[in-house]
Amino acid sequence: MKSKIVIGNWKMNKSFDEAEDLITEIEEILADLNLSTLVVLAPPFPYLELATDHAPDGNFECAAQNCSQFNNGAYTGEVSASMLADIDVEFCIVGHSERRKYFNETNEILAEKVNRLTEVGLIPIYCCGETVEEREAGVHFDVIEKQIKEGLFHLLPESLERVIVAYEPVWAIGTGLTATPQQAEEVHLFIRSLIEKKYGTEAAYNLNILYGGSCNPSNALELFTQPNIDGGLIGGASLNTKEFIEIVEAAETAGSDK
Ligand code: 13P
C-alpha cells in the first residue's frame, strides 16, 4: 500500500505569529493521530526554520515554495537548494503555475531547479497543469507532456525516483472550481503513462502524483480515492487548521482503503 501525501502550500500568507500558531496547532493534532499519510508544510521562507524546528514532534515534514536554479553566488534575493538542506527542509515546490506566470519560469529553468534540489538530496514537487484556454482548445495533454518531458526527462532513474509530481490545472487554483475526480484521474493516468514509457512500470507505479486546485474537505476524499491520485497539494484550505486536518484525514481514509 502506498501512503498518501498532503502538502500545504501557504503561498505568501500569514504573519510570523499566525504562522507559529498554525504550525503549533497542526503539530499538536498530528502528534496524536499517528497517521501513515505524509504531511508536508510549505510556509514562506522566513518561517521555514520555525517549521523545521517543530517538524520532528509534529510528524510533518517541511517544504520550500521555490529555490534558485543556481548553486550560489551573486544572485541577490535568491535562496539556494543547499541553504534549504542546511535548515533541514526536505522538499521544495518547483514550477508552480504562479511562478511560471508571474516570474516567467520556463521548463528549462525548472529543469535546472530540479537538478539543484536532487544534487543536495531534496525532493522536488514538480508542478504542471494547463490554463483554461489550453483545456478549451483541447491541448491540455500536449501542454502537460511538454512540461513533464522538459522539466524531468533529463533525470537519471535514481533521481526521478525521488520526485513528486503535482497536477494543478491553472483554472482550478484559488477559483473554487475543482477538476472533477474523473478529469483529474484522466490526467494523472496520462502523467503516469508518460513516466512508464520513459522510466518503466516500477518507476511509474512508485511516482507520487498529487492533485492541486481548490481541494477542500468536501471534495478531498473523492479525489484521493481515484487510483492514480496519491494525495493533494493544498492552497487556501491549508491556511486553516480544521480544513487542513480534515483533508489530511480524508487522505488517511483513502490510503487505508487501497
Ligand atoms: P488552492 O487550493 O487555493 O486552489 O491552491 C492550489 C495550489 O495552488 C496549491 O499549490
**211 neighbors 166 (Cβ within 8 angstroms):** yes
Question: pTM for the full model?
Answer: 0.97
Q: Which three cell numbers stand for residue 200?
A: 518503466
Residue among 235, 250, 238 nearest 26 (CA): 238
CA 172 to ligand 1: nearest atom: 4
Q: Answer whether residue 257 shows pLDDT above 70.
A: no
Residue 210: its pLDDT value, please?
98
CA 1 to centroid of ligand 1, rounded, Å: 27
Give the mean model confidence (pLDDT) for residues 189-205: 98
- Under 8 Å CB-to-CB from 167, ≥6 apart: which residues? 127, 128, 129, 144, 184, 187, 188, 191, 209, 210, 211, 212
CA 91 to centroid of ligand 1, rounded, Å: 17
Residue 36: its pLDDT value, please?
95
Q: Provide the 3-class DSSP secondary structure of residue 243.
A: helix
Q: Provide the 3-class DSSP secondary structure of residue 256.
A: helix
**167 neighbors 184 (Cβ within 8 angstroms):** yes
More confident residue, 178 or 11: 11
Atom 9 of ligand 1: nearest residue by CA position: 235
| pLDDT tens, position by position, 50-75 | 999 998 877 899 999 999 999 999 99
Give the mean model confidence (pLDDT) for residues 18-28: 96
Rounded to an integer, what distance in angstroms lies between the CA atom of residue 20 and that of residue 78?
24
**112 neighbors 74 (Cβ within 8 angstroms):** no
Residue 56: its pLDDT value, please?
83
Give the mean model confidence (pLDDT) for residues 89-101: 97
